[in-house]
Amino acid sequence: MKLLVPVRHYLLILVVLILAGCPSPDDNQPGNLPSATPDSETKSEHTPPPEDQFEMSLQRDPVDDEITRYMLSNDKGMVVELINLGATVTRVLLPSGNGESVNVTLNFEDPTTYKMNPPYFGSICGRYSNRIAQGKFSLNNQEYTLATNNDPNHLHGGNEGFNKKIWIAEEINEADQVGVQFTYVSADGEEGYPGTLTVKVKYLLNNDNELKLEYTATTDKETVLNLTNHCYWNLGGAGSGSILNHELNLNCSQYIPVDKTGIPTGELADVAETPMDFTSFHTLGKRIEQVEGGYDHCYVRDNYDSEGVQLIATLRDPESGRSMEILTTEPGVQLYTGNFLDGSENVGGYAKHGGICLECQHFPDSPNQPEFPSTTLAPQEVYQQTTIHRFKFAK
Ligand code: BGC
């Protein structure tokens, strides 16, 4: 057979075709983030490039007509994924020594599942996070009645709390941080609360591996407000097992004792010489059996009337060497050891104690507890909260 071109030309074409099928060196360049597809697995399948090749970036990825996912990345290879449904943190990926990333916050695989989200994974809770006794409070001699969605009390804003709302998102791209500002306007009377309330929550990631949450809110009528983020942490990796081996230190010499339904008795009790004491590092599992139902209590930050953010909690996982410090302006932190996680589909399949929440907030039931710091917001005031999560990847 007579060839139209010399054999060496066919060989050249073959070589070009083979090379085209190979990964280009660019595939390892910054911007190729760990897979954006949420998964319930502990590790992302992607092997990140060497550390010096990461760069700060912000990416957006529409999920459906309503839900958009945002991916914040820093130059250390840390990635935070957010969705505008509930202004929710869906994954926090930390690079690990073996070149893989580990997701350290409990999540649902499918972002649309967050429309229900019974455990409140990663979401902003409001208007009033935590409990209000019997769903009732008074302001200016008027009694307000809220949903008693945590029989017999009100919990995390009611049946349709802020965790179920679609928030407006604005991207933040600055030299030293990337982020998203989420805004939600809650109508006067929504879930029984008075006043039109405008809430803004900024999530910011910087190159010091800090995830900063800045909250502001204003109202046109006096109302009550207590915002928090409801991430469940497992520094060994979401789905890797229980957090009972994690060690916790709280800068809190007092906690708030509660009745059987989680409502404060009104007293602030000293933690000293009780299983509630985390003023030095203690393994969570060590004394949990002595606490009926497990830890689900609000701790009182030492010097809580001080200005600015202050370290309130340090969580560390001796096995992986990862740790997280939490600094906040809030007077309290709810320590909740995932006591109601039961392995069911409703809770993403995570088992009891599969994650720990450290929710910075005001004290539970403050609207009915005159001795507690006030959670009333007046029209001329601006609600402000700053909470920082600072991660260390390994030993
Ligand atoms: C509360 C728990 C509640 C959980 C719901 C926590 O903030 O303290 O009692 O079960 O939220 O996910």
Quick check: is 246 catalytic?
no
pLDDT tier at 48, thresholds 50, 70, 90: low
How much is the pLDDT for 138? 98
What spacing in Å lies between the alpha carbon of 4 and ligand 1's midpoint? Answer: 76
Contacts of residue 12, Cβ cutoff 8 Å, sequence gap at least 6? none
Nearest CA to ligand 1 atom 12: 119
- pLDDT value at residue 246: 98
- The reply to whether 10 falls in a domain is no
The ligand 1 atom at the shortest distance from the C-alpha of residue 340 is: 10
CATH number at residue 106: 2.70.98.10
Distance 120 CA to ligand 1 centre (A): 8
What is d(CA 197, CA 184) in angstroms, rounded to the nearest whole number?
8
Angle, alpha carbons 385-234-53 (nearest 5°):
85
Residues 301-316 have a mean pLDDT of 95
Q: How many other CB atoms sit within 10 Å of the CB of residue 221? A: 16
The answer on pLDDT for 32 being more than 70 is no
Looking at 190, 247, 330, 359, which residue is catalytic?
Answer: 359
- For 266, the 3-state DSSP assignment is coil
Q: How far is CA 9 from the centre of its chain?
A: 59
Residue type, 4: L
CA of 232 to the centre of ligand 1 (A): 11
Note whether 122 and 85 are within 8 A (CB). Answer: no
Q: Which residues pair with 269 in a beta bridge?
A: 255
Residue having the nearest C-alpha atom to atom 9 of ligand 1: 296
Could you tell me if residue 8 is inside a domain? no
26 found inside a domain: no
Ligand 1 atom showing the smallest separation from residue 359 Cα = 7
* Domain that residue 240 falls in: 57-392
Q: Is the pLDDT of residue 1 over 90?
A: no
| CA 124 / ligand 1 centre spacing (Å) | 13
> Is residue 376 over pLDDT 90?
yes
Percent of the chain scored above 90 by pLDDT?
Answer: 84
pLDDT band of residue 284 (cuts 50, 70, 90) is: very high
Q: Which atom of ligand 1 is nearest to the CA of 120?
A: 12
pLDDT in tens, 94-121: 999 888 899 999 999 999 999 999 999 9
Q: How many domains does the chain have?
A: 1
232-274 pLDDT, tens per residue?
999 999 999 999 999 999 999 999 999 999 999 999 999 999 9
Of the two residues 5 and 356, the one the predictor is more confident about is: 356
In a domain, 30, yes or no: no
Of the candidate ranges 29-38, 60-69, 120-129, the one whose mean pLDDT is the lowest: 29-38
The pLDDT of residue 49 is: 53
- Give the number of other CB atoms < 10 A from CB of residue 343: 12
Residue 273 inside a domain? The answer is yes
Give, using CA atoms, the residue closest to atom 5 of ligand 1: 119
**Interval between CA 380 and ligand 1 midpoint (Å):** 32
Residues with CB under 6 A from ligand 1: 119-120, 262, 296, 334, 336, 340, 357, 359
CA of 190 to the centre of ligand 1 (A): 22
Pocket probe mutation, ligand 1, options 108, 150, 292, 357, max atoms within 8 Å of Cβ: 357
Ligand 1 nearest atom to the CA of residue 296, by list position: 8
Per-residue confidence band for 14, with pLDDT thresholds at 50, 70 and 90: very low
Closest Cα to atom 6, ligand 1: which residue?
336
| pLDDT tier, 34 (very low <50, low <70, confident <90, very high otherwise) | very low
pTM above 0.75, yes or no: yes
Task: Give the ligand 1 atom nearest the CA of 336.
Answer: 8
> Contacts from 16-20 at CB under 8 Å and sequence distance 24+?
none
Within 8 A by CB and 6+ apart from 240, the residues are 42, 234
What is d(CA 312, CA 299) in angstroms, rounded to the nearest whole number?
A: 9
pLDDT of residue 388: 98
Q: Whose CA is nearest to atom 8 of ligand 1?
A: 296
In sign, the C-alpha dihedral spanning 108, 112, 118, 119 is positive
pLDDT tens readout for residues 186-245: 999 999 999 999 999 999 999 999 999 999 999 999 999 999 999 999 999 999 999 999
- Cα→Cα distances 126→300, 317, 331, Å: 20, 30, 17
Residue 84 falls within a domain, yes or no? yes
Q: What is the mean pLDDT of residues 285-291?
A: 98
Give a yes or no: residue 140 inside a domain.
yes
How far does the centroid of ligand 1 lie from the alpha carbon of residue 336, in Å?
A: 7
Q: Best of 156, 163, 226, 228 to mutate for ligand 1, by most ligand atoms within 8 A of CB?
A: 156
User: Residue for token digits 């929440």?
Assistant: 357
The residue from 230, 246, 353, 389 that is catalytic is 230
Look at residue 45 in the predicted model and tell me its pLDDT: 45
Strands 68-73 and 57-62: antiparallel
Rounded average pLDDT over 381-385:
98
In the structure encoding, which two tokens stand for residue 168, read together?
């407006």
Q: Taking 90 as the threshold, does the pLDDT of residue 319 lie above it? A: yes
**Mean pLDDT across the chain:** 90
362 catalytic residue (yes or no): no
Q: With respect to residue 107, please indicate whether it lies within any of the assigned structural domains.
A: yes
With a cut of 50, say whether residue 90 has pLDDT above it.
yes
Which protein residue's CA is at the shortest distance from atom 7 of ligand 1?
130
CA distances from 167 to 58, 124, 155 (A): 18, 11, 20
